[in-house]
């Protein structure tokens, strides 16, 4: 069975031709799936009954099943928990912002990177998500919240390291940015990596990887602290990472985002802020710094800094003229840490629910 959302436009056209159909059928099918977000082949009324039946019998349209969701009363963000065909579960977060909607998607079941502050990685990596499983997070979330709330921004910041699932993520980005498919703006897609140097270089050298924004989890401005927080730093050292980032061909409007999770008494002291500013040095125009106060989860060894500590750190960066902003986590009243709702489902066996009753 072909999972139809695994195919980018060129592959969809080839597949359509293999069935002996005219090429334009690819455009028709893509329009139903990606523009109209059809949930079944029966909705595709401008396709003949024979074609619809063939599609039903030979392809899979939907690859995610909604298990449950939590909606924040504070800010309206929604965390979805989906079941995959093999029974594993993943999360996606829908985030209403001031004037647009953002979706945070997962790229792996679990994660192998092992960041010390991260809930997702506790059970290690289970498997990569397929392109269809990444794309369906967008389509099913959009169907759930209603097409009038168009999700314009996508951040690959959910469960998993996107660049460790390189090919499937690349194809998902191709589908997202193709005007014949989801048609999102390149600038509104952000891939967030823990800093796997060879994969970052590969992405920038790969002409078939659509240009999107890059975010890198820095989390410390010195090797020792970074290594403690992110063991991946032992092989992808801070020095080499910064050297690589400083040499990437970054176009105007595509500044690299340095993500910095602020953890109380670990990396949030004034000297840490000064060190970060020095690390960025003269490359200020190349970066933006995203400060994210740590989101504690049950049993986490770290604490969230108080607002004044966050503001102090922020102010120091501004004094160096470094573009920095604080991202207060959305949905603090729901299972906010990435992977937490999934864990809850595993331990509490949340039952399957339907979207009825969702507060929009």
Output the known binding site for [4Fe-4S] cluster: 111, 115, 118
Kindly state whether residue 115 participates in binding ligand SF4, applying the rule CB under 6 A. yes
Kindly state the tokens that stand for 295. 């989101």
- Shortest reach from residue 28's CB to ligand SF4, in Å: 38
Question: Binding ligand SF4 by CB under 6 A: which of 71, 92, 102, 121?
Answer: 121
Kindly state the tokens that stand for 45. 């009324």
> For residues 333 and 70, what is the distance between their CA atoms, to the nearest angstrom?
9
Kindly state whether residue 331 participates in binding ligand SF4, applying the rule CB under 6 A. no
Q: Which stretch binds ligand SF4 (CB under 6 A): 48-56, 109-117, 140-148, 344-352?
A: 109-117
Kindly state whether residue 104 participates in binding ligand SF4, applying the rule CB under 6 A. no
Kindly state whether residue 120 participates in binding ligand SF4, applying the rule CB under 6 A. yes
Q: How far is CA 202 from the centre of its chain?
A: 19
**Cα→Cα distances 71→225, 296, 336, Å:** 35, 19, 11
Sequence-distant (≥ 6) Cβ neighbours of residue 26 within 8 angstroms: 9, 12, 13, 15, 16
Kindly state whether residue 340 participates in binding ligand SF4, applying the rule CB under 6 A. no
Q: Using CA of residue 229, residue 232, residue 234, residue 236, what is the dihedral sign?
A: negative
- Shortest reach from residue 294's CB to ligand SF4, in Å: 11
The nearer residue to ligand SF4, 26 or 111, going by C-beta atoms, is 111
- Shortest reach from residue 160's CB to ligand SF4, in Å: 6
Give yes or no: 133 in active site.
no
- Shortest reach from residue 120's CB to ligand SF4, in Å: 4
Kindly state whether residue 259 participates in binding ligand SF4, applying the rule CB under 6 A. no
Of residues 13, 91, 259, 345, which has the active-site annotation?
91
- Shortest reach from residue 327's CB to ligand SF4, in Å: 14
- Shortest reach from residue 337's CB to ligand SF4, in Å: 10
Question: Binding ligand SF4 by CB under 6 A: which of 29, 38, 55, 111?
Answer: 111
DSSP state of 93: E
Question: Binding ligand SF4 by CB under 6 A: which of 33, 159, 163, 273?
Answer: 159
Question: Binding ligand SF4 by CB under 6 A: which of 113, 132, 175, 238?
Answer: 113
Helices of type H across the chain: 9-18, 24-30, 49-58, 131-145, 166-177, 197-205, 223-229, 238-247, 270-280, 307-319, 340-348
Give yes or no: 308 in active site.
no
Q: Which stretch binds ligand SF4 (CB under 6 A): 108-116, 145-153, 281-289, 304-312?
A: 108-116
Sequence-distant (≥ 6) Cβ neighbours of residue 247 within 8 angstroms: none
> For residues 356 and 274, what is the distance between their CA atoms, to the nearest angstrom?
50
106 near 90, Cβ under 8 Å? yes
189 near 152, Cβ under 8 Å? no
Q: Which residues are annotated as a binding site for S-adenosyl-L-methionine?
A: 160-161, 192, 217-219, 295
> For residues 150 and 130, what is the distance between their CA atoms, to the nearest angstrom?
23
Kindly state whether residue 184 participates in binding ligand SF4, applying the rule CB under 6 A. no
119 near 346, Cβ under 8 Å? no
Tell me the per-residue interface mask from 280 to 309 with ligand SF4, x by CB under 6 A, - otherwise.
------------------------------
Of residues 13, 70, 338, 345, which has the active-site annotation?
338
Kindly state the tokens that stand for 6. 């695994």
Total binding residues for ligand SF4 by CB under 6 A?
Answer: 11
Sequence-distant (≥ 6) Cβ neighbours of residue 118 within 8 angstroms: 111, 338, 339
Contact set with ligand SF4 (CB under 6 A): 111, 113-115, 118, 120-121, 159-161, 194
Active-site positions read 91, 338
């Amino acid at each position: 069975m072909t999972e139809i959302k695994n195919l980018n436009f060129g592959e969809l056209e080839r597949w359509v031709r293999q069935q002996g159909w005219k090429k334009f059928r690819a455009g028709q099918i893509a329009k139903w799936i990606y523009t109209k977000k059809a949930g079944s082949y029966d909705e595709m009324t401008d396709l003949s009954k024979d074609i619809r039946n063939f599609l039903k019998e030979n392809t899979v349209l939907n690859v995610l099943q909604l298990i449950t969701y939590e909606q924040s009363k504070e800010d309206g963000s929604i965390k979805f928990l989906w079941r995959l065909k093999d029974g594993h579960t993943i999360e996606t977060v829908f985030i209403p912002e001031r004037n647009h909607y953002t979706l945070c998607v997962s790229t792996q079941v679990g994660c192998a990177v092992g960041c010390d502050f991260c809930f997702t990685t506790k059970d290690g990596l289970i498997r990569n998500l397929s392109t269809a499983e990444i794309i369906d997070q967008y389509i099913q979330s959009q169907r759930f919240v209603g097409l009038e709330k168009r999700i314009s921004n996508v951040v690959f910041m959910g469960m998993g390291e996107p660049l460790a699932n390189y090919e499937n993520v690349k194809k998902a980005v191709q589908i997202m940015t193709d005007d014949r498919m989801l048609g999102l703006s390149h600038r509104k897609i952000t891939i967030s990596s823990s800093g796997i140097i060879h994969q970052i270089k590969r992405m920038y050298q790969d002409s078939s990887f659509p240009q999107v924004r890059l975010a890198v989890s820095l989390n410390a401005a010195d090797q020792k602290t970074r290594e403690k927080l992110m063991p991946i730093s032992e092989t992808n050292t801070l020095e080499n990472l910064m050297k690589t980032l400083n040499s990437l061909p970054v176009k105007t409007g595509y500044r690299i985002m340095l993500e910095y999770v602020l953890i109380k008494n670990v990396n949030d002291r004034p000297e840490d802020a000064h060190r970060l500013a020095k690390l960025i040095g003269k490359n200020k125009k190349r970066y933006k710094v995203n400060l994210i106060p740590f989101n504690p989860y049950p049993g986490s060894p770290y604490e969230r800094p108080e607002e004044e500590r966050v503001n102090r750190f922020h102010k120091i960066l501004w004094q160096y003229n470094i573009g920095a902003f604080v991202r207060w986590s959305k949905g603090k009243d729901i299972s906010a840490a990435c992977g937490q709702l999934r864990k809850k489902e595993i331990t509490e066996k949340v039952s399957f629910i339907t979207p009825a009753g969702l507060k929009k």
